[in-house]
Amino acid sequence: MSYEWLHLRLAAPLMAFGGVAIDHVGPTREFPSASALTGLLANALGYRREDGACHQALQDRLIFGALSVLPEGRNMPLAVTDTQNAKLEKSDRGWTTLGAPEGRAGATYDSPHRRRRDYLVDHETRVVLRLAAGEGPTLENVATALDRPARPLFIGRKSCLPASPLLQGDAEGATAYAALLSLGLHGHAIWPDEGEGPDGALRYDIADLRNWHSGLHGGSRVVIEGQIL
């Protein structure tokens, strides 16, 4: 059986695929997590943060593979670390994707708020995705939302705006690995453990799931990581 997959191009001057954060350090992975793609699609569909059941159902149905497109001669993505120092005042307000400023409910911080955030630089990732059977949006609904999103989209963090439209068309294949092969691109990739892959590919658990009811990250899935030749 061959499935239809949406083909996404995630590219930006700076973008982030958040990994496991410890204290004030926010790392980035090479590939998007299941929770990050769920949030991206949910934002396009117009879900609100409190719609935990809708987010959870979407993540539970999501099946995807991702491939890094690197310039010739480069075998790994470039990354940069941004050190952020800010003194937060109780009256501070910030921009949101809802089109209205958002205020703070906490008190003023006497000392600076320090954070480190890693970003991928001038990076491009291709994603193939489909939705397993279940309640909620269809793949056509998702494609329409990505073409005309309910709110502005960003790749990982609000400052990471896409360099081009995300939706690139579709792909074909019985598995995520086959759908990645159908793109005709070469590079380092990750896909679900569906019994396919080249010799030398790695199989491991990745912690990239979110419990959208509690709002906390937790849970892992088995993936394969290797080269698409």
186: domain CATH number is: 3.30.70.2660
The pLDDT value recorded for residue 92 is: 77
Question: What does the pLDDT read at residue 121?
Answer: 93
Poorest-confidence range of 45-54, 108-117, 143-152, 187-196? 108-117
Of the candidates 62, 59, 115, 122, the one whose C-alpha atom is nearest the C-alpha of residue 87 is 115
Q: Is residue 102 part of a domain?
A: no
Could you tell me if residue 60 is inside a domain?
yes
pTM of the model: 0.87
Tell me whether residue 155 is in a domain.
yes
* Percentage, residues of the chain above pLDDT 70: 93
Number of structural domains (the chain) is: 1
CA distance 199 to 218: 30
* pLDDT value at residue 49: 87
Range from 61-75, 80-94, 137-151 that averages highest in pLDDT? 137-151
What length does the chain have?
229
The boundaries of the domain holding residue 140 are 3-84+114-228
Residue 62 lies in a domain: yes
In a domain, 101, yes or no: no
The number of angstroms, rounded, from the C-alpha of 97 to the middle of its chain's C-alpha atoms is 17
Among 24-38, 78-92, 146-160, the least confident range: 78-92
Amino acid 107: pLDDT: 67
Average pLDDT, integer, range 166-180: 96
